[in-house]
Structure 1
Amino acid sequence: MLFFRSEEHLRRWEGYDEKREGGVIALGSLMGLFSGSYFRNRRNPDYFSHMSEYLAEMISALEKLQEAGSHWRMGRLEKLGFTLAMKLGLL
């Protein structure tokens, strides 16, 4: 994970690759994502009992990120697999 002052600073970086631009996200959005229940409750004794709820919340938060590119989004088959696993009680 790399942090830059601005998108302009990122584009001037020698390791910048336009193909990976879908992974660029604002720090505020990233902080919001990592402050969700999935990460915040990891030390709770019943964490695994609620993991499916936390994962659903995290996926919903990812979908709401306005500037997030394809790197941050689940594909149709991944969403289907996750939904199926939840319904079968595997998560």
Structure 2
Amino acid sequence: MNFFRSKEHLRKWKDFKKGGKEGIITLSDAMRLFSGPFFSKRRKPDYFSHMVKYSADMIQIMDSLKNSGSYWRLNWFEKLVFGLVLKLKSG
């Protein structure tokens, strides 16, 4: 993960790939995503027993990121599969 002060600064970076712009998010969005329970609770002893809920929370956060591209969002099929896994896990 690399941080840049502006989109112009990012585009001047020697390793910038035009096709990768879907993965560009603001620092505030990155902070919101990485401060969610999926990441912030990793040191808790019961982390794995709550991982399904933490993953669902992370998907909701990813869907709500305002300026993110498709890189940060699951498509409908991935959400369907994840929903089925949640049902199997809770049933």
TM-score under structure 1 length normalisation: 0.92
> Can you give the 5+ residue segments of structure 1 that lack an aligned partner in the other structure?
none
Alignment of 1:62-77 (within 5 A): 62-77=62-77
CA distance in 2, matches of 1:86, 1:17: 36
Q: Which secondary structure does the structure 1 equivalent of 2:89 belong to? A: coil
Show the counterpart of 1:33. Answer: 33
Aligned residues: 90
Amino acid paired to 2:35 = S
Q: Indicate the larger mover: 81-90 or 53-62.
A: 81-90
Overall identity of the aligned pairs, in % = 49
The CA RMSD measured in Å over matched residues stands at 1.2
Q: Which secondary structure does the structure 1 equivalent of 2:61 belong to? A: helix
> Can you give the 5+ residue segments of structure 2 that lack an aligned partner in the other structure?
none
